[in-house]
Structure 1
């Protein structure tokens, strides 16, 4: 039996959240997080170049605009799952993925809360030869801490991290 005492059912105005993100320039807004589930809205991921790897599934719904979800197969091949506005996508755990969508596009995302010891990884590859060039790791206990931005700050602020050891190409920094 489920006890609903002190339970507050989230009722979210997604249009208002999208306006808030647009007006503030922020990229994510956490809607709720309980012991099992994390939900947030993300705005624009046009700058993403890394592949995120986590132990949780992700359910992504294209609220506004389309998304191209780049992902890597177990063999390392890069593929694209195109998600038009209004579509939903289930992404299995541990799939290296890189969501890419315009600044005026929005995704509603539901994930499983990370268990103690589960570490999110962010992998970058050389834009010239596809050699692995850098990894950032974070324990994602609260999406309001914006781990993606923290990983990117570390990566962009280091010429060493962005330089391919195989071919010498320097991956682009912040524009």
Structure 2
């Protein structure tokens, strides 16, 4: 892997802003994956994957929603310049505006590993739906694909418990 990568985070944030893209993969090697993410104002799902994650808030503040082992939801506020460690398999939902940016470093997915994206009813917190993806290349943006599948399916967005329909973003 020569030459060694050197990343200008300010230039990367500018590129994402100008292109309106949400993610720029910085590298994707056998045991390491790093990317800069621009906030998704509509994010509502909880992501579950088999890798630990390190998040550094480059610009702005993130409200990191996560589910405890008993299923209850909690929020960790990550201010600009701060870092967070998220253990593998903890359902988490990084929520931050499109003018905020985070650097995420984790292990590249191993062959056959499945990323899961889960939604819960915003009215009663009942489980709504899960999307699953085997992510061979993170540049394929599995989050956007999961959202498209979920929001294109009104049945998936309808709560079986209270009947609430989660609105499209």
**TM-score, length of structure 2 as denominator length:** 0.98
Does 2:39 correspond to 1:39?
no
Does 2:120 correspond to 1:115?
no
Give the counterpart of 2:62 among 54, 61, 67: 67
Distance 2:15 2:151 in 1: 27
User: Structure 1, unaligned stretches of length 5 or more?
Assistant: 1-5
Helix, strand or coil at the partner of 2:155: coil
The Cα of 1:7 is off from its aligned counterpart by 2.8
Give the counterpart of 1:101 among 76, 91, 96: 96
- Deviation string 1:34-80 (CA, Å, 9 cap, x unpaired) is 11100000001221100000000110000000101000001011001
The Cα of 1:9 is off from its aligned counterpart by 0.9
User: Structure 2, unaligned stretches of length 5 or more?
Assistant: none
Runs of 4+ in 1 over 4 A off after TM superposition: none
Residue 48 of structure 1 aligns with which residue? Answer: 43
Helix, strand or coil at the partner of 2:41: coil
Does 2:6 correspond to 1:11?
yes
Residue 150 of structure 1 aligns with which residue? Answer: 145
Give the counterpart of 1:24 among 19, 28, 34: 19
- CA-based RMSD of the aligned residues comes to 0.8
**TM-score, length of structure 1 as denominator length:** 0.94
Aligned pairs, number? 169
The Cα of 1:142 is off from its aligned counterpart by 1.2
